[in-house]
Amino acid sequence: MTTLMAIGGAVGFEESNIFKEFIRRAGGAKAGIVVLPQASGLKDTGREYSQTFQSLGVKQKPVSLEFRVRAEADKPRHLEALRNATGIFIAGGTQMRITTIIGGTRFESELLSAFKRGAVIAGTSAGTAVMSKVMLTYGKNGATPRERIAQFSPGLGFTDKIIFDQHFRQRDRLGRLAYAISMYPGLLGVGVDENTCAIVEDGKRITVCGRNAITIVDGSEMVSTNIAEVTGSRPVAISGLKIHVLIEGCSFDMRSRNAVIPQIRLE
C-alpha cells in the first residue's frame, strides 16, 4: 500500500493525533523515521520533529537529514537512510527549497522508490505542497479565482492525480485552488486546513484526520471557463466545479468521485 499524509500546516507538537497516526502507519514503536527539514529556514526543525516522534513512542531515534545544498544530497548515508525508512516526514517552510535541492538527484529517485515500496510519506505545509507532480508554488489569497492568482512548478510527483494546497481556510485559498483546477480539470484539488491531514491511500481513497477540514475541488464535470482569455489579474469565470468539504470520519473515493459523510445517530 502507498500512503501520503498531507498536513495543512501549523500542527502543534502538543496536538499529537496526526503524529500518532503517522507513527502507527509507519510501524509503531519499531518505525524507522527519516525527517527532511530542507524547506525550513530554522536550524532546529529536524531535531524538534525527531524529539517529538521519540516522545510519542518511537524506539529507534529518527534520522534527520540536515543537508541544504544539492552537492550533499547523494551522500551514501543519505541514500541508505531512505532505503531503511518506514516513514518519511517532510517539514514545512518554502517548497522550492525542497525541489531545487533534491530535484533530479539520486536522492529524489530513492525517495520515490521508498514511497512505492510502502514507506509512509507525511509532510506539513510546504511538505504537503511538494507531494504532487503539479505543485502549487506561489499564489495570492482570496475566494475569487483571478488570472495569475497562482503559479506552478514540478513537485516530487508522489501523486499525479492531486494538486495540494495548505493553510487552506485559514489563509482563504479557495480562489487559487479553483484557478488551479480550472487549468488542470483532470486533477483533484485538495485544500487542507491547519491541524488537519488528508490521508491518500493507494491513490484511490482520501480520509481525514485532525481538528478542521479538507476541501476537495473536482473539475471532472467542469462545463466551461474563460481562464485562457482573462488578463490583468481580472476575475476568472468557471462553471461546473464540484466542491466537497470533509472532516474527520469522512472519506472520498477518487475513482467514483463520491464522498461519504457518516450519518449522525440519534439518541
Q: Exposed, middle or buried, 210 (CB in 10 Å: 0-12/13-18/19+)?
A: buried
Report the C-alpha gap between 38 and 267 in whole angstroms. 50
Residue 105 has a pLDDT of 98
Report the C-alpha gap between 152 and 95 in whole angstroms. 11
Report the C-alpha gap between 238 and 179 in whole angstroms. 9
Phi-psi category of 33—alpha, beta or left, where left has phi over 0 and alpha has psi -120 to 50? beta
Indicate which residue of 40, 50, 64, 125 is catalytic: 125
C-alpha grid cell, residue 260 = 461519504
Report the C-alpha gap between 90 and 98 in whole angstroms. 9
- Residue 14, pLDDT above cutoff 90: no
C-alpha grid cell, residue 186 = 483532470
Q: Long-range CB contacts (< 8 A, 24+ apart) of 183-187?
A: 183/152, 183/227, 184/134, 184/219, 185/219, 185/220, 185/222, 186/219, 186/220, 187/134, 187/160, 187/161, 187/162, 187/163, 187/219
φ/ψ of 106, rounded to 5, equals -65, -30
How far out from the chain centre does Cα 117 lie? 19
78 is catalytic: no
244 is catalytic: no
125 is catalytic: yes
| Mean pLDDT, residues 172-196 | 97
Confidence of residue 217 (pLDDT cuts 50, 70, 90): very high
Indicate which residue of 21, 108, 110, 194 is catalytic: 194
Is residue 258 within 8 A of residue 215, CB to CB? The reply is no
Residues 37-76 pLDDT 10s? 999 999 999 999 999 999 999 999 999 999 999 999 999 9
Residue 16 has a pLDDT of 87
Indicate which residue of 40, 167, 182, 244 is catalytic: 167
**Side chain identity, residue 187:** L
- Among residues of the chain, what percentage have pLDDT more than 90? 96
Q: For the domain 3-260, what is the CATH code?
A: 3.40.50.880
Determine how many CB atoms are found less than 10 A away from the CB of residue 138: 14
| Mean pLDDT, residues 141-158 | 97
